[in-house]
Amino acid sequence: MKELIKTIVIVLLVIVAIYYAFVVNKVNERMDQLNAADSLQAISIEGFDHRVHDLDLRFIGRGKHIQQFQRDLSALDQKLDATARRFDVKIDSLGLMIRELRMNTESELANLRADQEATADRLSQFQRQTNRTLTDIQTAASRLNRKLNDLEKRVKTLENPPEESSKRK
């Protein structure tokens, strides 16, 4: 019986050894597959790391460009503000000049209107005086004409005495 137990134990040990060899072989195949997959993953990870590094460098470069654009934009904003302030000052001064010009023009126009009215008054007064003087001259000329006619009649009368008056005497 001892031998039978020894034989069973040896058979069991051989079965376990074969099973163990089979499992180890399976595990080795699986390990080979995992090692192959791991090497592919390592290559992929290295490529991915390289691409990530390149992207990091690009982002750093773009970040620098963005910072430069922000500085340029800030400088342009400051220039725009300065230009707007200058334009505001110029517009204000131009508005003041326009108001002054308007006031001067209005005062000059008022002076011109007053001068025009004064000139029109003087002209109408001169015209009335001229008309009066002309009327006076015409009246005087008429009187002188009448007096001249009277004198001419008297001279004719003296030159040619009337015959009737001598006959009557």
Mean pLDDT, consecutive 10-residue stretches, the chain (169 aa), reads 90 93 93 86 78 84 86 94 94 95 95 94 93 93 93 84 57
Q: H helices of the chain, where?
A: 2-159, 163-168
Q: Could you give the number of structural domains in the chain?
A: 1
Backbone CA torsion sign across 63, 66, 72, 78 = negative
Question: Is residue 101 assigned to a domain?
Answer: no
In this structure, which amino acid lies at residue 88?
Answer: D
How far apart are alpha carbons 116 and 108 in whole angstroms?
A: 12
Which tokens in the block code for residue 61?
């470069």
Cα dihedral 16, 20, 22, 25 in deg (nearest 10): -170
In this structure, which amino acid lies at residue 153?
Answer: K
Question: Is residue 99 assigned to a domain?
Answer: no
5 is in which domain, residue-wise?
A: 1-41
How far apart are alpha carbons 64 and 92 in whole angstroms?
A: 42
- What pLDDT score does 165 carry? 55
Question: Is residue 3 assigned to a domain?
Answer: yes
Question: Is residue 139 assigned to a domain?
Answer: no
The model's pTM is 0.41
Question: Is residue 81 assigned to a domain?
Answer: no
How far apart are alpha carbons 114 and 121 in whole angstroms?
A: 10
Question: Is residue 49 assigned to a domain?
Answer: no
Which tokens in the block code for residue 16?
């376990």
